[in-house]
Chain A
Amino acid sequence: MARSLLFPEFKIERDKERCIACQVCVRQCANDVHEGSDTEDTVVSQEEKCVGCQRCVNLCPTNALTVQTRKDGFRPNGNWEDRHLRGIYKQAETGGILLTGMGCDRLYPVYWDHLLLNASQVTNPSIDPLREPIELTTYLGKKEEKLDIHWEGDSPVVRTRLAPQLGLEVPVIFSAMSYGSISYNAFRSLAEAAREAGTFCNSGEGGLHPDFYPFGENIIVQVASGRFGVHRDYLRVAAAVEIKIGQGAKPGIGGHLPGEKVSKEISRTRKIPLESDAISPAPHHDIYSIEDLERLVFAIKEAINYEKPVAVKIAAVHNVAAIASGVVRAGADIVTIDGIRGGTGAAPQVIRDNVGIPIELALAQVDERLRLEGIRHHSSLLIAGGIRSSADVIKAIALGADAVYVGTAALVGLGCHLCQKCYTGKCNWGIATQDPVLTKRLNPNIGRRRLVNLLRAWAFEIKEMLGGMGVNAIESLRGNREHLRAVGLSREECSVLGVKAAGEGW
């Protein structure tokens, strides 16, 4: 066999003074990197297969292990980075598309990091969130233009039929991750945490396992191009339905869950034969125009009796503002926009890293366009793709979002170390896998607790920041870009974001 030109990406160091040869690392690495010996107190490692997930490092009881990125040793070359060489070596070897997982990891500007928040001084008082209530409750759905209020004696009666709303206690929702792409325990952690924290999780396009029907009030179900697991009860049990047109990590292409992952439970959930490939086509084959989309939106609204909001999810692409406007006009109660840094269980690397635009720019443009057209209140804006902290959340809201989706951040909360190998099905953290040896590594009781903690911590931080600005309700911040200033951005970028440069006053 011709020798592979690929070289290990990681370097494993085992401190001989500390290693007690307990073989915990051996048992934890699903990639069989470490090898113990029955007769001798030694453990050795074969670095080629290491993906840098840090599972072994985390569990080693003596801190004997370090797993580091390996210096490649190529002659430095500003044009040819090691990832280019690596990619070519691999493709010359396999002849295939390079696959990857999670979101784009390229160094495109992260606009959140170029936006700064405002605070009150002298002329407007700040608020102490420990003393005064600060409201984070958010309602997603179509808002009425005007209310028809009728007085019956002294008491007002609202006559307008209000559109259905999703009520969130924190403006953060767990984004679409299907049972299939993630494990049962990971999904259970998300569903239980959503219920406890007063928010929602999204079923992804994989249908809903019967065990999760009782969580319906906190689940948004997805209808995607494959229509897996979509049926009357699926639509009716959920709090909202989301039509997925595109995904930030792979705009314009479909999905593929390999047959090996279609276990008994997954085949039952997706309503497809055991071990058959689950292929989501790139487009919905019944949607080729805004009018077609409108038909599906209303077909779903009919099916759920107009009792719950219907969302439409699109990827942030170049013409996103015009597309979003069409989506609003098609009757979507919520428009979800997923930016280039949005995660995925599997995508061609070339698509993930090169297609789409950052969510910050897309959000600013969509919000502005909908306002100019006078239809911003017809839909709520939910954004996704690269929210990493409470600061990102509050900046997104100031930029015009109603709420945000977090996917990667939630998985990191569950233990994900961003090794980007989700597509291999061998997630050592028990998240992106269906292997029964690995899935039990995620105890959903721990998972739920960690996610609830995360949302609680973010909610506290958001309240602190709001209080500092002298704003006592997140609603009052929405789309208020005067609370944002840009640093290190060009005029064009500031104008696309609709944000003034730092230093400019009102």
Chain B
Amino acid sequence: MKHIKIHEEYCIGCRLCEINCLVKHSHTGKIIKAFKEESPRAFPRIRVEEEGCLSFALQCRHCEDAPCVENCMTGAMRRDKENATVLCDEEKCVGCWMCIMSCPCGVIKREKKTRRIASKCDLCGGVDEPVCVAHCPNEALTYE
């Protein structure tokens, strides 16, 4: 399975990965509409961490032995049989946040309105090049 690799030495903290991940998970998929017209606004499944001159973008690592999958009591958090990505079935999720508590990378976010969790990298649904990688202007994210 391919993974998104983080090259923090080249991350410029522009957050274009966040912006484009949001657009990818919006209704229209159009950047201006996603920000200006859609309500509620979609949110990114990647987060740029910054301190001093260090920055990097982190998203779900799709761990081999994923603690979130192990700890999910409803089976909402599961491993996709086809491409081995860790995905969350929003229908099954009851919002207990066990996954959030067990994720060692802190990359699962709560969807505040419904109390359900939803915000998690889905590798853009199995495309050849995930959107955050494609839009990183400095190749600080690579898919290999």
Chain A residues with a Cβ under 8 A of chain B? 17-18, 20-24, 27-28, 59, 61-62, 436-437, 440-441, 443, 445-446
- Given A27-B13, A441-B12, A20 and B36 touching (CB < 8 A)? yes
B97 within 8 A of A: no
- Cβ of A59 and Cβ of B137 under 8 Å apart? yes
Contact: A443 with B16, CB < 8 Å?
A: no
12 A-B pairs with C-beta separation under 8 A: A17-B32, A24-B14, A24-B15, A27-B14, A59-B16, A62-B32, A440-B10, A440-B11, A440-B53, A443-B139, A443-B140, A446-B139
Smallest CB–CB gap between B5 and chain A, Å? 13
A24 touches B138 (CB 8 A): no
Which residue of the partner chain, among B10, B15, B32, B140, contacts A18 with CB atoms under 8 Å? B32
What 0/1 readout, one digit per residue, does chain B (6-22) give for beta carbons within 8 Å of chain A? 01011111111001100
Interface residues of B (CB under 8 A from A): 7, 9-16, 19-20, 31-32, 35-36, 53, 135, 137-140
The CA-CA distance from A15 to B65 in the complex, in Å, is 48
- Among A21, A27, A440, find the residue whose CB has the most chain B CB atoms closer than 10 A: A440
**Contact B19–A24 (Cβ < 8 Å):** yes
A20 contacts B31, C-beta separation under 8 Å = yes
- B11 to A, closest residue via Cβ: A440
- Which of A18, A441, A443: most chain B CB closer than 10 A? A443
CA distance A62 to B16 in the complex (A): 11
Across chains A and B, the number of contacting residue pairs, with CB separation under 8 Å, is 50
Nearest residue (CB) in A for B36 is: A20
B14 & A59 in contact (Cβ 8 Å cutoff) = yes
Cα–Cα distance between A408 and B21 once the two chains are bound (Å)? 36
| Interchain CB contact under 8 A, A445 and B32 | no
Task: Please give the distance in Å from B55's CB to the nearest CB on chain A.
Answer: 9
Given contacts A437-B53, A446-B138, contact A20 B14 (CB under 8 A): no
State how many angstroms separate the Cβ of B135 from the closest Cβ of chain A: 8
Q: A17-B32, A446-B139 are in contact. List 19 more A-B contacts (CB 8 A).
A: A18-B32, A20-B36, A21-B35, A23-B15, A27-B15, A28-B14, A61-B16, A61-B19, A61-B20, A61-B135, A62-B31, A437-B53, A440-B10, A440-B11, A440-B138, A443-B10, A443-B139, A445-B139, A446-B138
Instruction: Check B15 against A22 for contact (C-beta < 8 Å).
Output: yes
Q: Which residues of B contact A446 (CB under 8 A)?
A: 138-139
Q: Are B138 and A443 in contact (CB under 8 A)?
A: yes
For the complex, would chain A's binding face be called helix, strand, loop or mixed by DSSP majority?
loop
CA distance A401 to B5 in the complex (A): 46
Contacts of A21 in B (CB 8 A): 35
Residues of A within 8 A of B140 (CB): 443
A445 to B7, CA, bound (A): 12
Q: In the bound complex, what is the Cα–Cα distance between A165 and B108 (angstroms)?
A: 61
Given the contacts A437-B53, A441-B138, A443-B140, A61 and B31 also touching, CB distance less than 8 Å: yes
Minimum Cβ distance to chain B for residue A20 (Å): 4
Question: Chain B nearest CB: distance from A451 CB in Å?
Answer: 15
Tell me, in angstroms, the Cα distance from A61 to B134 when the chains sit together. 13
A17 to B33 Cα, complex, angstroms? 10
Residues of A within 8 A of B36 (CB): 20
What residues of chain B lie closer than 8 Å to A17, measured between beta carbons?
Answer: 32
B143 CB to closest chain A CB (Å) equals 15
The 8 Å CB contact of B12, one of A18, A62, A440, is A440
Which residues of B have CB within 8 Å of A443?
A: 7, 10, 138-140
Partner of A22, one of B13, B19, B137: B19
Docked complex Cα distance between A22 and B23 (Å): 12
- How long is the Cα–Cα vector from A61 to B53 in the complex, in angstroms? 23
Chain A residues with CB under 8 Å of B16's CB are: 24, 59, 61
Query: Which residues on B sit within 8 Å (CB–CB) of A18?
Result: 32
B32 A20 Cβ-Cβ under 8 A? yes
Chain A residue contacts of B9, Cβ below 8 A: 440
A443 to B138, CA, bound (A): 6
Complex-state Cα separation, A296 to B20, whole angstroms: 58
Is B139's CB under 8 angstroms from A20's CB? no
The answer for the CA separation of A94 and B112 in the assembled complex, in Å, is 55
- Taking CB atoms, residues of chain B closer than 8 Å to A440 are 9-12, 53, 138
A436 to B16, CA, bound (A): 20
Expressed in whole angstroms, the minimum distance between the Cβ of A106 and any Cβ of chain B is 34
Contact of B138 with A22 in the complex, beta carbons under 8 Å: no
Residues of B within 8 A of A20 (CB): 19, 31-32, 35-36
Report the nearest B residue to A444, measured CB to CB. B10
Closest A-chain residue to B7, C-beta based? A443
In the complex, residue of chain A having the shortest beta-carbon distance to the beta carbon of B18: A22
Instruction: Write out the residue numbers on chain A whose beta carbons fall within 8 Å of the beta carbon of B7.
Output: 443
Closest A residue to B142 by CB, please name it.
A445
Min CB distance A21 to B, Å, is 8
| Nearest-CB residue, chain A, relative to B136 | A443
Task: Please state if B35 and A22 are interface contacts (CB–CB under 8 Å).
Answer: yes
CB distance from A408 to the nearest CB of B (A): 22
Closest-CB distance, A383 to chain B (whole angstroms) = 34
